Structure 1
């Protein structure tokens, strides 16, 4: 099993490495290039895990699962439907989701699989796309729901999903991952709200990478959020959302209570 993480040490330095049992085997250099092992090891109790990559952008898909499309009465798209989330929206496991200061409406979670790009990618064919995928991670794609249609003249997807802390990513990037056999499970506090198979995707990861690379250049560390399925819901202040994918891990983030902003 090959799972990469980024971490913050107690002295304030940021590092990265491979998970091995309850430790991180440290590396230096470029995670997406030719990283070198330092010989150091850190126990997970001695570090804080960060988002496992630092994307230049998060590309978030909509309507990419057959079950949800059927429930919503939507036809399957012929090209991925997506929006762009800025890098400032990214946080790692355990970091608080922060409500926008001027917004008091509903905030929703979406448990998703994330594709992490490993090398510069532009106009690649489907049968070549897998070699541009570094690995996979968990995502909670957060939305300020009531801003989507605040202006009837323009659906504000980027604004509603692009706030700081609204892209929760982690805990690790799993390289040798068989997405076809996996499921996404999302818990809101102690209640399971989502549990869906990834093989229900309309566009496979390779198709996503190929088609999106025709629209924009994807860079190492960029993340594609593969879209979600049935079970999306709202988060109350103080509630914790945990997105779990067997083989990758569990990503937990709490919506900060009012007054803890």
Structure 2
């Protein structure tokens, strides 16, 4: 399924996306739902972020080339930080350039969407707790990010977690091409098979630290090739089978 969250006539719905048609759900994919007979054209709806999260749990330096471009050691355990719920931004939303920031970076990331309450699980069971996957952009105020860690300030401005456009359970997340483009120019290009810490491990590891709630997302890390963005730029995150997440800088 491809789950889409959208607004139509000022009412928020979930639906199943099928090409350019949305079939409305009665309920949400995070609980019981039924598929109704009502359909809408995709162009008639306003696409929202795929869910509201209580937290976005992010993994830093999870691609070797990204660690190397910062001249940092390859981690031996996950580097973890959290973005607050106020960073949530929908596809086509405007990423706000903070006045105290002098370099604003994109980071293309595969996001895991948690489907049900997840606590103290093992790797072999992780798949049962994942609703699906989507595109995300770990927007970063790079000049406010100290190399020694403590990245919260640089990662947590409002609008700094665009994600979407939909959640899919139809992909093999262990082998997906991932790319970022700024103003149409490819800046990052890699594959999720290059993750240092794999998806089942991350879900299990994090569940033994904190309870992951339905709708929470895990950003799995970004490959090398990050750079700055400017006001007026358009940034796209493109992941195989997960569509294109597009935002502008304002």
Shorter-chain TM-score category?
A: over 0.9
Q: Deviations over 1:26-75 (max 9, x none)?
A: 00213112211222111111111111111110011101112323444444
Shift of 1:221: 0.6
Would the aligned equivalents of 1:122 and 1:213 in 2 still touch at CA under 8 Å?
yes
Shift of 1:77: 2.4
Choose 91-100 or 67-76, whichever is displaced more.
67-76
Q: Distance in 2 between matches of 1:215 and 1:52?
A: 25
In structure 1, what is the equivalent of residue 125 of structure 2? 128
Alignment of 1:1-261 (within 5 A): 2-9=1-8, 11-100=9-98, 102-149=99-146, 155-256=149-250
Q: Would you say how many aligned residue pairs link Structure 1 and Structure 2? A: 250
Let me know the Cα RMSD of the aligned residues.
Answer: 1.5
What runs of 5+ residues in structure 1 fail to find an aligned partner? 257-261
Q: Deviations over 1:85-110 (max 9, x none)?
A: 0111011110111122x424111000
Q: Distance in 2 between matches of 1:72 and 1:160?
A: 16
Choose 156-165 or 52-61, whichever is displaced more.
156-165
Shift of 1:156: 4.3
What runs of 5+ residues in structure 2 fail to find an aligned partner? none
Shift of 1:235: 0.6
Would the aligned equivalents of 1:67 and 1:200 in 2 still touch at CA under 8 Å?
no
Q: Distance in 2 between matches of 1:134 and 1:76?
A: 30
Partner of 2:134: helix, strand, or coil? strand
Partner of 2:35: helix, strand, or coil? strand
Would the aligned equivalents of 1:147 and 1:156 in 2 still touch at CA under 8 Å?
no
Would the aligned equivalents of 2:174 and 2:199 in 1 still touch at CA under 8 Å?
no
Q: Distance in 2 between matches of 1:78 and 1:127?
A: 21
In structure 2, what is the equivalent of residue 259 of structure 1? none
Q: TM-score, normalised by structure 2?
A: 0.95
Q: Distance in 1 between matches of 2:197 and 2:118?
A: 18
Q: Distance in 2 between matches of 1:89 and 1:63?
A: 20
Would the aligned equivalents of 1:80 and 1:212 in 2 still touch at CA under 8 Å?
no
